[in-house]
Amino acid sequence: MNIIIVGCGKVGHTLTEQLGGEKHDIVVVDLNPDKVHQITDEFDAQGIVGNGVSYQTLQEAGVEEADLLIAVTGSDEQNLLCCCIARQAGHCKTIARVRNPIYNEEISFLRDKLGLDLIINPELITADEIAHIFQFPSAVKIDTFSKGRVELIHFRVTGDCLLNGTELINLKNILGFNVLIPLVTRGDEVIIPRGNFVFQEGDVASVVTTSRTASMFFRKIGFTSGRTRTAMLVGGGTISYYLAKRLLAAGINTKIIDINPKVCAELSEKLPEATIIEGDGTDEKLLLQEGLASADGFVALTGFDEENILLGLLAKRLSKAKSVSKINRINFNSLLNEMKVDTTIFPRLLTADIILKYVRSMNASLGSNVENLYRLEDGRAEALEFLVNEASGVTNTPIAQLKLKKDINVCSILRGDNLIFPTGSDEIKIGDRVVIVVKHQGMNDISDILQ
């Protein structure tokens, strides 16, 4: 497809890398020539130096022939206007990044009245992700499928965890029920485990389950962390605001620390049920004074990656809190795993995943579409959900008889209200929602799982 990306910041850079890797023709637009040249030097993309809100600039970028325009500049208003112009000039699909909380309650109105196809709020997406993780403190990441019925929960195997030293084939007998573990990361290696796989301390494993079964699974393997009741947030930005609203609504006592008195005053007005502390959130004495040692959850949301990483490590040393660190730029997942950083959240990657899912849906056949997509382990694996709308080579045949590509796991099938964790004798039917985990990239259709 022909795709125009307006805005060459962190998200624009990530989108160019991921979409360009899937053989789309990319044109990037930005007023800053250095940013444009950096992207075009690094990736196979064309660059236009200019204002993405300018009709003339968009014409130069090829808007009349474009299939999709993605506006991710630093201005919500420019992103919305750019998409409006693109819709009139070229009739292409449009996606706008809109971050200001003022617009949050108006998303449906803006999308419908302005004719946009998708509006993304990265801060809100990030807050939702963190709030979801707090539901299962043992998890480092949770991906949701099949209308919330299926969860892919990623967790770290500890030394005293029942899985440590256990062979995968013996897991059902030990647990007393069946679970599917489709993916394990060990250092820099991403593994689709088979029956003879043996878990080791430090592995990050992924289990396919339901919310109800997840609690039982974690109890069985020795993770007894209870429900999050108190949370401490360092940094009072937009993500903190959205997250605090989610946590307070869930009955979680929430405290926010920020050094800026103006920010604290605004948060106190908007979040009267939260405790707002004006102070240096990197001060160990202040954190202890404000109750870090007894907190159930801790989130580092400052504007500096290095601070957030160190704060996450500090929280782990001083408390038993589930700690989450927001990362904007640094992308060394393997190093962060070695440092035993509890959970890291990358807003730009969350945003890119949603856009990539939308692009795959556009690019797919009418028969089977990508309904959901999560890139795992720096893009070295993917979890995808397909909606099967017509018969194909994968339907009405036992899974064991399908000639699947290497390193693929069929994780779940949602058939109406019936959720199936499939065995080799199960079949995929028309109307099913099918979740797979795969080390391949660029799958657009359910039939792509076949050799």
In a shared domain, residues 11 and 115: yes
Instruction: Indicate whether 350 belongs to any domain.
Output: no
In a shared domain, residues 196 and 306: no
In a shared domain, residues 27 and 95: yes
Instruction: Indicate whether 11 belongs to any domain.
Output: yes
Residue 207 clears pLDDT 90, i.e. is over it: yes
Contacts of 111 (CB under 8 A, 6+ apart): 117, 118, 119
Structural domain span for residue 23: 2-120
In a shared domain, residues 114 and 134: no
pLDDT 10s digits, 3-37:
999 999 999 999 999 888 888 999 999 999 999 99
Strand order in the sheet with 322-326: 275-278, 253-258, 230-234, 297-300, 322-326, 343-345
Question: Long-range contacts for 213-221 (Cβ within 8 Å, ≥24 apart)?
Answer: 213/177, 213/179, 214/136, 214/151, 214/153, 215/136, 216/177, 217/175, 217/179, 218/136, 218/138, 218/155, 220/162, 220/174, 220/175, 220/176, 221/161, 221/162, 221/163, 221/175
Residue 368 clears pLDDT 50, i.e. is over it: no
Instruction: Indicate whether 444 belongs to any domain.
Output: yes
pLDDT top residue among 175 and 263: 263
Residue 365 clears pLDDT 60, i.e. is over it: no
Handedness of CA 263, 127, 293, 303 (dihedral sign): negative
Residue 267 clears pLDDT 80, i.e. is over it: yes
- Per-residue pLDDT, 225: 63
Strand order in the sheet with 204-209: 139-145, 150-156, 204-209, 180-186, 189-191
Q: Which residue from 230, 236, 278, 235 is spatially nearest to 254, judged by alpha carbons?
A: 230
User: Where residue 340 falls among pLDDT bands split at 50, 70, 90?
Assistant: low
Instruction: Indicate whether 260 belongs to any domain.
Output: yes
- Per-residue pLDDT, 364: 56
* Residue finishing a domain among 62, 91, 120: 120
Residue 236 clears pLDDT 80, i.e. is over it: yes
Instruction: Indicate whether 10 belongs to any domain.
Output: yes
Instruction: Indicate whether 358 belongs to any domain.
Output: no
Beta bridge partners of 95: 70, 118
In a shared domain, residues 333 and 399: no
* Residue finishing a domain among 201, 220, 239: 220
In a shared domain, residues 39 and 102: yes
Domain count, the chain: 4
In a shared domain, residues 215 and 302: no
Residue 189 clears pLDDT 50, i.e. is over it: yes
- Per-residue pLDDT, 332: 63
Q: How far apart are CA 304 and CA 79, in angstroms?
A: 25
- Per-residue pLDDT, 80: 94
Residue 405 DSSP label: P
In a shared domain, residues 114 and 146: no
Tokens 């890398």, located at residue: 17
* Residue finishing a domain among 220, 251, 279: 220
In a shared domain, residues 94 and 67: yes
**Cβ–Cβ under 8 Å, residues 215 and 189:** no
Instruction: Indicate whether 184 belongs to any domain.
Output: yes
pLDDT top residue among 340 and 328: 328
In a shared domain, residues 111 and 203: no
Residue 157 DSSP label: P
Average per-residue pLDDT in the chain? 89
Residue 410 DSSP label: E
Instruction: Indicate whether 323 belongs to any domain.
Output: yes
In a shared domain, residues 339 and 234: yes
In terms of Cβ atoms closer than 10 Å to its own Cβ (0-12, 13-18, 19+), residue 176 is: exposed
In a shared domain, residues 173 and 259: no
- Per-residue pLDDT, 272: 96
Q: What is the pTM of this model?
A: 0.84
Residue 360 clears pLDDT 90, i.e. is over it: no
**Residue 380: which CATH number?**
3.30.70.1450
Tokens 């209308």, located at residue: 147
Q: Would strands 408-415 and 433-438 be described as parallel, antiparallel, or unpaired?
A: antiparallel
**Residue 290: which CATH number?**
3.40.50.720
Give CA separation, 312 vs 278, 305, 376, 388, in Å. 20, 11, 21, 42
Q: How far apart are CA 221 and CA 228, in angstroms?
A: 19
Mean local confidence (pLDDT), 171-190: 87
pLDDT top residue among 179 and 128: 128
Beta bridge partners of 176: none
